[in-house]
Amino acid sequence: MEIRPKPATLASPVPVTLPLNELVGESADAFTSQVRDVFLYNKYSPQKAVSLTDLRLQGEDSQALQCLTDLPALSADGLSRTRIHYVAPETFQDICRQRDWEIAPDGSPVADVVIVGAGPGGLATSYHLAQKGARVVTLEGGYAAQAFSDAGAPCVHSMRTDRLLTSLVRTGHALEDLSTVMGLPAGLGQIVAHASQARKLLWETTGHRIQGLPENIESTNRYQPAARAELYEHFQQIANYVAADCPNSFLIERSPVQQIRRDQNLFYLETSQGHKLYARKLVMATGLVQEGGSNAKSLAILQNLVDEHPEQYLLLQEDQNLIEKAQLMKEDRQWIVTDRLLGRPEVKLALHQLPGQARVAVVGSGESAIKAALEVLSQNPTLKVDLFSKAPLEAAQVQVPGENFHPVVLEQATRDPGYAEFSKERFARFDTPVTPRSMIEALQEVGAGRLRIHELGSYFDEHSVSIQPSGMNRSSITFTSAEVRANLSKQRQEWESQGLRQPALNQIDNIAMVIQAAGYSREKLPLHPLAQQLQEQALLKMQAGQPELDGLTSAACPDLAFNSSMLLGTAADSAIPGMAVRGRQLAEHFSSELPARPLPPQALPPEKPGADWANGYTKADFEGFVRYRGLAPNWVESQGGPQDTPQFHFPDPERFLRELDERNPSELTPAEKITLERAHRLRIRMGTPDFEAQDRA
């Protein structure tokens, strides 16, 4: 590949989203008035809102209705996209010819790499490949980064990793990562101000102050957790670059891939819109959950309740349900809703319209469940919530063991099969902790009497609880297991010892809505239809629900790779930092096998592939970073081995917990005490004492 010196100066990319309030403005035309009435009504006056379900049943103009339906998928906490990235099949072929791309005998363009999916894995891979001069086409069935929109992550307003880790741009050189203009840290000041303005306007208009954000969110500290709107803007800047600003790449949205086949050492792909093209290399970035939530997990006890009482209950689980069941949604029924639908205007309005003092039950054990509970309380200040958790809540800032995010570990893990297996074993033990800020905020609501948390110690099923109708549109939940009642008593006593009281209950009445945040069982999810096509052609081997890899690529086909939460090669593959690093590594790997191409404008090629921060470390150093949970082995050795100090208790990225641990216990609130105690419980359960025993052995 051609290597060029970096330009002396580069301008930061301009924002590619606008605050929804500014986008709508004061226009009086019918469509923008509908947008205001559907999305920007004051939450204390829901009677003034326009119901999207009513518009659907009234047979409103289909194009306008589709725009209203799609808007949550194009927005994030007050920011909304201003353009769609779509290229018609004929136009795509014409542009490829104009750019002198190779054309197959059947007239279809030949790309160097096609990426299926424009989530974080797909965008990171397409960006880094494009920067290396590869001819790249990214095909997306919905919208880029839709999983981080109001439709995809409605309760998530603060990310689990910090602003530095959530950048999709990974040059492999620490200083360049901070200076590369397309990276999140480099444009942080502009992006933070942009997102803050959108949140402010949204709050002023709707009275809805977004919950769950860190204090001093307007600061530009790159180690602070990223707000979702910031991350969404960063993703859209990357999407806009590969779609419009890079002369050797395409991003084509709203074009689901329907067919993939291997043909003469090339991949042939067709979309539902009629695009036809070939690719030398293929990267699958289709994510874990299929479009529309069609394989979302549903609790059997709730499904049985709907089956036994179809006249009283309505199950809303997939995006399509909001359209197919529109008439039923207007009837007098109690809703059982999947948490991923909480960002949809139909569900928001239903929450706002519940009468005062009604209760909402949330069932789930992880961050999704606790954030769903907080979202309900934020949406309607008159409601109360009961959260049913399978296990005692534990606190950790990140969703995988923190050592997985150390730069050396991120860079080396994909090349070390032994560590890959070790990291997945630790990930399984880690379970589903919640962020410290979410836990503290939830426990504060417990203290205020608006939230009750029930740590069952077992699954929410017919062996632990009974859920029954109790009057018109109401249900009651009874704890039927003696073991569960004993666990709840133990929880109540533990919390009272820390100064937090919660009433003793055997039955909960007046439940007006149930929200299930049951997550997804990776092993039980059906294989994505496109992955099934690859498997049927012997291009993909599956093992324990995972694509089998040979290094970075498929063990059955070296031209096929994955960068998706579908893949769990290492624990970090389930998180943005892992996908970002894997995206750059795939670009390095594939570019060495592709024809040499001129580099596009703004390309910042490193002088050598790989990472400077991983060079010079031995295998023992690498294992030391893992063993000491992200702490440098030489630092630990200089301290005489693991010490009983707050710094060793909670190394990066657990800065928030470390700060709590360093405070005087008498200064902590009951919510902070319980959160810190549960964080220590997780730390001990994850095995730091075992490391000390290994050292002595």
Residue 686 pLDDT more than 90? no
Q: Which residues contact 315 (CB under 8 A, 6 or more apart)?
A: 298, 302, 303, 306, 321, 336
Q: What is the pLDDT of residues 428-452, one digit of tens each?
A: 889 899 999 999 999 999 999 999 9
Q: Which of 463, 497, 516 is the last residue of a domain?
A: 516
- Identify whether residues 369 and 237 lie together within a single domain: no
- Cα–Cα distances (Å) from 591 to 131, 201, 244, 450, in that order, read 10, 45, 22, 55
Residue 36 corresponds to which tokens in the numbers above?
């205001």
Q: What is the rounded average pLDDT for all residues in the chain?
A: 89
Classify burial at 142, counting beta carbons within 10 Å of its beta carbon; exposed 0-12, middle 13-18, buried 19 or more. buried
What per-residue string of b and e applies to 315-335 under the rule 16 or more CB within 10 Å gives b? bbbbbebbeebbeebeeebbb
Tokens 């439709």 sit at which residue? 151
Task: Say which CATH number the domain at 374 has.
Answer: 3.50.50.60
Same domain flag for 371 and 457: yes
* Residue 280 in domain: yes
Task: Give the model's confidence band at 696: pLDDT under 50 very low, under 70 low, under 90 confident, else very high.
Answer: very low
What average pLDDT does range 153-165 have in this prediction?
Answer: 93
Residue 294: per-residue pLDDT:
61
Integer Cα distance of 124 and 115 in angstroms: 10
Angstrom distance (rounded) from CA 145 to CA 136: 18
Residue with tokens 């998530």: 156
Residue 136 pLDDT > 90: yes
> What's the rounded Cα separation, in Å, for the pair 231 and 233?
5
pLDDT tens for 311-328 read 999 999 989 999 999 999
Specify the pLDDT at position 607.
54
Number of residues that make up the chain? 697
Q: Which of 39-43, 114-118, 524-528, 569-573 comes out lowest in average pLDDT?
A: 524-528
**Burial class for 76, CB neighbours closer than 10 Å (0-12, 13-18, 19+):** buried
Higher pLDDT, residue 43 or 143: 143
In a domain, 301, yes or no: yes
pLDDT score, position 10: 53
Q: What is the pLDDT of residues 88-101, one digit of tens each?
A: 999 999 999 999 99
Q: Among 495, 516, 537, where does a domain finish?
A: 516
Output phi, psi for 259, to 5 deg: -140, 135
Residue 195's pLDDT band, with cuts at 50, 70 and 90, is very high
Asked if residue 580 and residue 549 are part of one domain, the reply reads yes
Distances (CA, A) of 202 to 18, 156, 380: 12, 16, 16
DSSP letters, 557-612, are -TTEEE-STT--SSGGGGSHHHHHHHHHHHHHHHHTTSPP-PPPTT----SSSS-T
Q: Are residues 467 and 319 in the same domain?
A: yes
Would you state the pLDDT for residue 8?
40
Confidence class for position 496, pLDDT limits 50, 70, 90: very high
What is the model's pLDDT at position 77? 96
Instruction: Report the Cα–Cα distance between both ends of the chain, in Å, rounded.
Output: 49
Q: How many Å apart are CA 102 and CA 248, to the nearest integer?
A: 12
Residues 512 and 533 placed together within one structural domain of the fold: no
Q: Are residues 305 and 363 in the same domain?
A: yes
Whether 446 is in a domain gets the answer yes
pLDDT above 80 for 521: no
Residue type (1 letter), 376: V
Name the one residue in this structure whose structure tokens are 């309740």: 305
Q: How far apart are CA 528 and CA 288, in angstroms?
A: 8
Highest-pLDDT range among 153-157, 278-282, 658-662: 278-282
pLDDT in tens, 627-658: 788 888 887 778 776 666 777 788 888 999 99
Q: Higher confidence at residue 10 or residue 565? A: 565
Q: Is 466 left (phi over 0), alpha (psi -120 to 50) or beta?
A: beta
Tokens of 332: 């007098």
Report the alpha-carbon distance of residue 627 to residue 588 in Å, rounded.
29
572 pLDDT above the threshold of 50: yes
Q: Is pLDDT above 60 for 688? A: no
For the chain, the C-alpha Rg in angstroms (whole number) is 25
Q: What is the pTM of this model?
A: 0.94
Domains: count for the chain:
3
Helix (H) or strand (E) holding 186: none
User: Looking at the structure, do residues 382 and 449 belong to the same domain, yes or no?
Assistant: yes
Residue with token string 């959260």: 387
Q: With 50 as the cut, is the pLDDT of residue 19 above it? A: yes
Task: Clarify whether residues 363 and 257 are in a common domain.
Answer: no
pLDDT value of position 2: 39
551 and 632 share one domain: no
Residue 670 confidence (pLDDT) above 50: yes
Query: Any idea which residue has 């779509």 for tokens?
Result: 86
pLDDT-based confidence at 140, cuts 50/70/90? very high
Q: What angle do CA 473, 478, 480 make, to 5 degrees?
A: 150
In which residue are the tokens 């690093």 written?
581
Looking at per-residue pLDDT, the higher value among 272 and 29 belongs to 272
**Residue 596 confidence (pLDDT):** 86
Higher local confidence (pLDDT), 647 or 398: 398
Q: Is 261 exposed, middle or buried (0-12, 13-18, 19+ CB in 10 A)?
A: middle
pLDDT, average across residues 267-290 = 94
Q: What is the pLDDT of residue 693?
A: 41
pLDDT for residue 695: 41
Least confident of 6-10, 107-111, 176-180, 313-317: 6-10
pLDDT of residue 54: 93
Q: Are residues 686 and 639 part of one domain?
A: yes
Residues 389, 456: one domain?
yes
| Secondary structure class of 465 (helix, strand, coil) | strand
Q: What is the pLDDT of residue 589?
A: 95
Q: Does residue 602 lie in a domain region?
A: no
**522: pLDDT strictly greater than 70:** no
Digit-coded pLDDT (tens) for 292-312:
666 667 899 999 999 999 999
Instruction: Report if residue 403 sits inside a domain.
Output: no
| Residue 509 reports pLDDT greater than 70 | yes
Q: Quick one: three-class SS letters along 500-550?
A: CCCCCCCEEEEEEEEEECCCCCCCCCCCCHHHHHHHHCCCCCEECCEECEE
Percent of the chain beyond pLDDT 70?
A: 93
Q: Flag whether 79 is in a domain.
A: no
Structural domain boundaries, residue 454: 296-395+433-516
In a shared domain, residues 311 and 324: yes
Rounded to whole angstroms, how far apart are CA atoms 660 and 489?
27
HEC profile of 18-86: EEHHHHHCCCCCHHHHHHHHHHCCCCCCHHHCCCHHHHHHCCCCHHHHHHHHHHHHHEECCEEECCCCC
Question: Is 209 a domain residue?
Answer: no
Q: Judge whether 6 lies within some domain.
A: no
Beta bridge partners of 546: 543
Mean pLDDT within 148-169: 93
Does residue 127 carry a pLDDT above 70? Answer: yes
pLDDT of residue 39: 95
Q: Which residues of 77-111 are buried (b: 16+ CB within 10 A; e: fewer)?
A: bbbbbeeebebebeebbeebeeeebeeeeeebbbb
Split at pLDDT 50, 70, 90, the class of 158 is very high
- Ranges of beta strands (E only) in 349-506 are 359-363, 384-389, 451-455, 465-469, 475-479
Domain endpoint, select from 476, 498, 516:
516
